[in-house]
Structure 1
């Protein structure tokens, strides 16, 4: 059976892994990734389209300089996109998040296994915990990079605004504010780092204790040897 110290530390790491898993679910389920204000030139005045959306759906509304506001509309991201490259990037972000979700689930299972047993000689040990937490963190970082790249390089917000209101004319400027669904991914990376750090501290303490127990005989007092 594992020691109390090992059980408590791996249990805490398990808790961080579970929190990571829940946060990734929140990221996928919520649609507050970004709020964009896209300005277009109109016939007699400029038109501003305000969008709030995520990976799957969002809302948009139109404002005209004279004060007229069009009622809010709900849209599906995939339906509003005509740019195949932008669609592919959205798909890549979704796939990356699903992979991070699976990695987080495996990491939770590995930390739970280590909390109740001693599988140090197999991949189920700390090595497995390091691997799956690292992969989860890498996938989340990749998703955090791909989404803004899609916004800037493929003009995602402009594409979606035109999908909502097809009569829009020349694009003038855009401003973007990333929402809580996006920034939760940073929290997931921090949780994965915390899990790895906890296990590293335990592994280092265990290694130091093992080395201390294996001190060479020359360090043993001579009177003990003679006896």
Structure 2
């Protein structure tokens, strides 16, 4: 049977990872950014006094809340993000799909970390992929992939100008010009940060166990190593 310290630390690692999975599941279902901007009909002499457009975007759904914007109505409308991204070009769509796939892989690797941690809390496996090494690998994959999602999604929003292009694609009566986008990253985006932190915490807890176990083994070996040679002969 594992020691009490091992049970506590591995169970705590599993608990931290389980909380991170809950956070990641919630963040995938909520808003990732909110953007508002001025808009005008796409004529050469267009002015930007016509109105404004506001969109709220999640990983899968888009809500349009446009106000007096030309070419499009005022009432809130609901769209599918993947379909709308397909209208504005391959690069934003590919990056968005990649972010979703990476988040799914994060969930899978986190579930693996939970299972391995719980298995170690009730048994004593060897130092294989089912031991601390497995927790290190799964949690490290989760942390690295979630960090990649933070970077890729931000690049898609600010470098590929995804909010502006989405508003333009929603126009049904002709070209649309937009300017002065005000972009706020949503709760879904920011929840990836505590998920990353909890993945690192899971790694830290297992490292703490291994360090304590190594220290304990060294202390048990020290009396024999420090004994006088005459005593050791007997």
What's the TM-score once normalised by structure 2's chain length?
0.88
Query: 2:40 aligns to what?
Result: 41
Partner-residue secondary structure (3-state), 1:40: strand
Could you report, residue by residue, the CA deviation over 1:54-108 in whole angstroms, capped at 9, with x for unpaired residues?
111121111249xxx8111111112222211111111101111111111001011
The correspondence of residues 95-106 of structure 1 with structure 2, limited to 5 A, is 95-106=101-112
The correspondence of residues 41-190 of structure 1 with structure 2, limited to 5 A, is 41-42=40-41, 43=46, 45-64=49-68, 70-81=74-85, 82=87, 83-166=89-172, 167=174, 169-190=176-197
Unaligned runs of 5+ in 2: none
Shift, 1:212, TM fit: 1.5
CA distance in 2, matches of 1:225, 1:129: 41
1:19 aligns with 2:23: no
CA distance in 2, matches of 1:22, 1:181: 12
Q: RMSD across aligned C-alpha pairs, in angstroms?
A: 2.0
Could you report, residue by residue, the CA deviation over 1:104-130 in whole angstroms, capped at 9, with x for unpaired residues?
010111101110111133221111101
The correspondence of residues 192-203 of structure 1 with structure 2, limited to 5 A, is 192-203=199-210
Contact 2:84 2:166 in 1 (8 A): yes
CA distance in 1, matches of 2:209, 2:177: 59
Partner-residue secondary structure (3-state), 1:115: helix
Unaligned runs of 5+ in 1: none
Partner-residue secondary structure (3-state), 1:79: helix
CA distance in 1, matches of 2:159, 2:221: 59
| Residue range with higher mean Cα deviation, 139-148 or 44-53 | 44-53
Contact 2:168 2:177 in 1 (8 A): no
CA distance in 1, matches of 2:133, 2:200: 14
Partner-residue secondary structure (3-state), 2:222: coil
Kindly tell me the number of residue pairs found equivalent between the two proteins. Answer: 223
CA distance in 2, matches of 1:130, 1:226: 43
